[in-house]
Chain A
Amino acid sequence: MRTIRAAATGAVVMSLALAATACGGGSSTDGEGSNDSPKTLTYWASNQGASIEVDKKVLQPELDKFEKKTGIKVKLEVVPWSDLLNRILTATASGQGPDVLNIGNTWSASLQATGALLPWNDVNLAKIGGKGRFVASALGSTGAQGKDPAAVPLYSMAYALYYNKQIFADAGIAQPPATWAELTADGKKIQARGNQVLGAEGANVSENVHHVFVFAKQHDADFFTPDGKPDFTSDGVVTAVQQYVDLMAKDKVIPQGNAEYAQNQSVSDFAKGKTAMLLWQSASANLASQGMSEDRYGVAPVPVQSGAPGAGAQVDSMVAGINLAVFKNTDNLDGATEFVKFMTGDEEQKILNKAYSTIPPVASAQADPAFGTPANAILKDTLAKSAAALPQVADESQFETTVGTAVKALFAEAAAGHPVTTESVRAELAKAQQQMPAK
């Protein structure tokens, strides 16, 4: 009896202890940051390389370098894109997150609105060398206008047109197309020789948004009114979305099968020589990892409606990139700031951006000859002259999902052979707009 009682008491105590730790576990869950644990940092990196393993191989030596320099051990976790935003939201709700993290630069304003990220005011920016270190276009995608940035730029990317030199030569095309009309015309020649023309990720919500955003710019239209209200059904936006979907529905340059692509199959198709062209952000490293050497493809600016890329209606890319943010409730504020300074320092910027074939958003690192190759020159030029930042509004991430899903549905219609009309595009966009949070 005695032993049973002892065992029972033990079980109760244990379960109570379990309950207590489950409720109050972890570090500080609210309020501002501190320096309670100055020797460790947790870092969530986004998946930039061809795989998560590649990222670990690229980043770990740099983190070791940081530890040697400062004595701070950085625990690295590479989070796949499919999970990253949800993981950040969960961390925001629970207060149990990393100290430092990568975010897609287009999410900056949305995440800024949660208040979970450390604002980079002048004091904080001064600790990492000041605002002046960063290129202006990259800084334009770090949060809502008029507010302190929610993150600092880490890697910059831009869209470019990648084309298969052999297929172009076989089809007798001397120059990559500079306008959409030229692209469609070239497509006919390429198709005549049995090749697919242009790859796209029709079921990838984010890719869809990036493209229709640029098309909208080319039609002088915006998805948000100047005061930040969603406006998805204006004539310009409808024309833009229809023009993108028509690349499959009417012009037939995007193969119908691409309507269900969402796992970067269009990159593999291009690397395998199945498609002649691909619109992608900083694809070199990705293509190399899939066995396509640099001499087999050319890089050109994304086509425009007419003329040459530039500002306004000549925009031909979004400002793509990755930002580095600090969770406000970090236990190692000084260490986190130090880490951001390290990652945005000239040396690391050169190493990391080379590894990922991205462009450093830090002006002094851009001067390195490695970023002067013809491919990088085009990306740099695009970022400097003809790229526009996605809307920096709190509802940006909702916009990406609702509009991206609408375009996915339109591609599905086009792939099924159903007509895509101005009315059907407008209806789909109206549905997307209705799902946006009420203002």
Chain B
Amino acid sequence: MTITVEAGKPQVAGGEPAPRSRPGRRSHRVGLPYLLLLPALILELLVHLVPMVIGVLMSLKALTQFSIRDWGAAPWSGLDNYRVSVHFDAPVGQALLRSFLVTVGFTLLSVGRCWLIGTAAAIFMQDAFRGRGLLRALFLVPYALPVYAAAITWVFMFQHDNGLVNHVLHDQLHLTDKPSFWLIGDNSFYALLTVSVWKGWPFAFLIVMAGLQNIPRELYEAAALDGAGVWQQIRRITLPSLAPVNQVLVLVLFLWTFNDFNTPFVLFGRAAPEAADLISVHIYQASFVTWNFGAGSAMSVLLLLFLLAVTGVYLALTTRGRRPSRAR
């Protein structure tokens, strides 16, 4: 966009009367950037928008195994799929609501921990010391590992009979009366949370670390001269300076965690325990397990609307909160 504006009036620069350009040439100049953007635009349409529109269309159809072969011809069902999804007194809506609440709780806990651990680690690593580079690299390993490989390793560790987790908690530390199940039953929530935090905090660490580089050292020096301790420096300088970074970081972590499919799917397979029934896996189940693709699409659209609303409100709140402080 900016290129066009600049290309439109480069003549005024320097205050001298600009040489008059021919209209044909001008329109070329205006058109060229759009032309160059076109391939990206078309691909964006194809990769993102078209599937989304198709998803919305599918949500308005009664699309089951009987019509999947020629799904364009599946009967329209209006808002029926949505009605079933939000009918919270009936089994389908009830299950969706429960899965939604589990996901909200899980996301809040996971994002909170990721942010806390990531920020703490970044602040500890702020001052140079021997081996800092090595530690930084080590911290980023979970983020760099492919999700599948990492989650499968966790599956082995969480196994009841031979898993490392039970070996440490039960056999060595004697914290439990008997070995616990982590991949089935209620504990699966904590297993999922552990893997999610383990996988997510390095990203928070990376972003906060980058944000810390932009805080001028003089601020800390001045604060130290004024007698501020470490804790006060963190509270009064580091955290406020990180606010813009945190705004984006928390949002991105939230969206990723809320939508996470890979981790629960690799940990629990296609039948996730109720305690760890995240919404993305639940929607996958609704579509592929019961072969009701219309209902699955409707739930996806509802999820999209919810995330859009959360993002909008979040951005509005956090941006409004920050502006006055900047003006000062």
Contact = CB atoms under 8 A, between A and B. Distances in A.
Interface stretch (A281-289, A316-324, A363-371, A401-409): A401-409
Given A86-B288, A114-B68, A412-B185, A404 B271 contact: yes
A146 B159 CA distance: 47
Interface in A386-413: 394, 397-398, 401-402, 404-405, 408-409, 411-413
A136 interface: no
B69 A402 contact: no
Interface in B19-70: 28, 32, 35-36, 38-39, 42-43, 46, 64-66, 68-70
Interface stretch (A3-11, A68-76, A183-191, A239-247): A3-11
Given A397-B291, A401-B270, A401-B290, A416 B66 contact: no
Central interface residue in B66, B271, B274, by most chain A CB within 10 Å: B271
A18 B43 contact: yes
Contact of B291 (A5, A11, A411, A437): A437
A418 to B, nearest CB: 9
B289 interface: yes
A169 interface: no
Given A86-B288, A437-B64, A437-B290, A203 B271 contact: yes
A205 B270 CA distance: 9
B102 to A, nearest CB: 15
A419 interface: no
A408 B273 CA distance: 9
B68 A205 contact: no
B184 A411 contact: yes
Interface in B49-100: 64-66, 68-71, 91-92, 95
Given A92-B69, A401-B270, A412-B184, A8 B32 contact: yes
Contact of A113 (B43, B66, B95): B66
Nearest to B287: A89
Interface stretch (A137-145, A152-160, A254-262, A306-314): A254-262
B133 interface: no
A114 B159 CA distance: 39
A181 interface: no
Interface string A419-437: 0000000000001001111
Nearest to B295: A437
B290 A402 contact: yes
Interface residues of A, number: 52
A411 B66 CA distance: 33
Contact of A416 (B46, B181, B270, B292): B181
Contacts of A115: 66, 69
A169 B95 CA distance: 50
B70 to A, nearest CB: 7
A11 B43 CA distance: 12
B198 to A, nearest CB: 20
Contacts of A412: 181, 184-185, 273
A70 to B, nearest CB: 29
A8 B186 CA distance: 58
B183 interface: yes
A394 B65 contact: yes
Contacts of B64: 437
A436 B290 contact: yes
A436 B291 CA distance: 10
Given A114-B66, A408-B271, A435-B289, 5 more contacts: A15-B43, A89-B291, A203-B271, A397-B291, A401-B285
Interface of B: 28, 32, 35-36, 38-39, 42-43, 46, 64-66, 68-71, 91-92, 95, 159-161, 179, 181, 183-186, 269-271, 273-274, 285, 288-292
The 8 closest A-B pairs by CB, nearest first: A15-B39, A434-B91, A412-B184, A405-B271, A257-B161, A412-B185, A8-B35, A401-B289
